[in-house]
A = this chain, B = another copy of it.
Amino acid sequence: MAFGEFDLIDTYFTQRSKQRPDVVIGVGDDGAVVSLPERSELVIVTDTMVADVHFDSDTPARALGHKIVAVNLSDLAAMGAEPAWISLAVTLPEVDHEWLTDFAAGLREICDYYGCQLIGGDTTQGPLSLTVTAHGVVPAGSAIKRAGARPGDWIYLSGPLGDAGLALAARQQKVKLTNEHYKRVTDRLYFPSPRVALGQSLRGIASSAIDISDGLAADLGHIIKASGVGARVTLEAVPLSLPLTESVSQERALELALVSGDDYELCFTVPEARRGVFDTLIAHSPTKPICIGRITSETGKLKLELEGEPWELPEAGNGFQHFSQRK
């Protein structure tokens, strides 16, 4: 294999992949050429996953192929963008054809599912590392920012948090799960589902949005910081999965939900004036976002309440806090 060329991934990837009509030149030239619809804007996101930092070395290659795309599509979803094209930079210690076959299959499956096409990249030799730059499209002026939340807006979550953190805790022997629970949460850790359709449907409705990659506390923190507002969250409203509530105490479940990250649900805000449109939208959606609180005017203040009482995030080093180091 000549590292530096992209033939290898191309061979494993393009033969069975769906082609988009807006790709003028795909893999195989110095660059790819694509065309955008008129009156649209381009959204560009980048995420890297490094072996032994973002994933254990025994993570299945197919899961890695899925996840490096999923985490990027999740960022696109948080902007309200429709996924279109991805570039892949993959650094491999050696050529392992079985690994590459599985990795490319995971990558191809999620790309085909969301209608986005691999258009190029780079293959290099070195310590295992994956970087995807994903490109999406929005009608001009309609991208959802972090900075749009206003006091009184309702805060929503697209789905339950903490499963990915629980899977990691179980893999590290810090908690014991039933086989069924283990399988379910490992699936959430390895094959996260970016909320692509929901993100797009929130254009014109949500005043701000972010995807939960670092835990609710940190990511909602980004929204209130960018928007110059505060937030009050009713913790008993935060959706937690059955594996989570059945396996650990409520306190630990909340810690995982708030700080462990890697869940790739969307957290977004909806102004009171758009709530009717939003309720109509989700009435017809398979995803049922849950209202967990409200934006306040107390700039920079994130208030967490459980059963009406203030609730403090555990100190670094306590509880499950250390999971947040996986960044």
Chain A positions near chain B (C-beta within 8 angstroms): 2-4, 24-25, 28-36, 38, 41-54, 75-76, 78-79, 81, 85, 87-89, 91, 119-122, 124-127, 129, 131, 133, 135-136, 138, 140-141, 143, 145-147, 209-211, 213-214, 226, 327
Q: Are B46 and A42 in contact (CB under 8 A)?
A: no
Q: Are A50 and B126 in contact (CB under 8 A)?
A: yes
Q: Are A79 and B31 in contact (CB under 8 A)?
A: yes
Between A79, A87, A89, A131, the greatest number of chain B beta carbons within 10 A of the residue's beta carbon is seen for A131
Q: List 13 contacting pairs A-B, 8 Å CB cutoff, sorted by A.
A: A3-B53, A3-B327, A24-B141, A32-B45, A33-B79, A34-B41, A34-B44, A35-B140, A44-B87, A44-B133, A44-B135, A47-B122, A53-B125
Which residues of chain B come closer than 8 Å to A75, judged between CB atoms? 30-31
Which residues of chain B come closer than 8 Å to A146, judged between CB atoms? 28-30
Known A2-B327, A122-B46; contact A131-B89, beta-carbon cutoff 8 A: yes
Q: Are A38 and B41 in contact (CB under 8 A)?
A: no
Partner of A127 from the list B36, B127, B213 (CB cut-off 8 Å) is B127
Least distance between A44 CB and chain B CB atoms (Å): 5
**Interface class of chain A by DSSP:** strand
Closest to A36 in B: B36
Q: Are B127 and A46 in contact (CB under 8 A)?
A: no
Query: Once bound together, how far apart are the Cα atoms of A48 and B124, in whole Å?
Result: 7
Closest to A143 in B: B33
Query: Once bound together, how far apart are the Cα atoms of A140 and B34, in whole Å?
Result: 9
Which residues of chain B come closer than 8 Å to A3, judged between CB atoms? 53, 327
Q: Are B91 and A121 in contact (CB under 8 A)?
A: no
Q: Are A42 and B48 in contact (CB under 8 A)?
A: no
Least distance between A64 CB and chain B CB atoms (Å): 15
Which residues of chain B come closer than 8 Å to A226, judged between CB atoms? 28-29
Q: Are A131 and B122 in contact (CB under 8 A)?
A: yes
Which residues of chain B come closer than 8 Å to A46, judged between CB atoms? 87-89, 120-122, 133
Closest to A42 in B: B34
Which residues of chain B come closer than 8 Å to A32, judged between CB atoms? 43-45
Least distance between A149 CB and chain B CB atoms (Å): 13
Q: Are A122 and B30 in contact (CB under 8 A)?
A: no
Known A42-B36, A81-B31; contact A48-B89, beta-carbon cutoff 8 A: yes
Which residues of chain B come closer than 8 Å to A121, judged between CB atoms? 46
Q: Are A31 and B43 in contact (CB under 8 A)?
A: yes
Which residues of chain B come closer than 8 Å to A124, judged between CB atoms? 48-50, 53-54, 327
Closest to A6 in B: B46
Which residues of chain B come closer than 8 Å to A25, judged between CB atoms? 143, 145
Which residues of chain B come closer than 8 Å to A78, judged between CB atoms? 30-31
Which residues of chain B come closer than 8 Å to A138, judged between CB atoms? 33
Least distance between A195 CB and chain B CB atoms (Å): 12
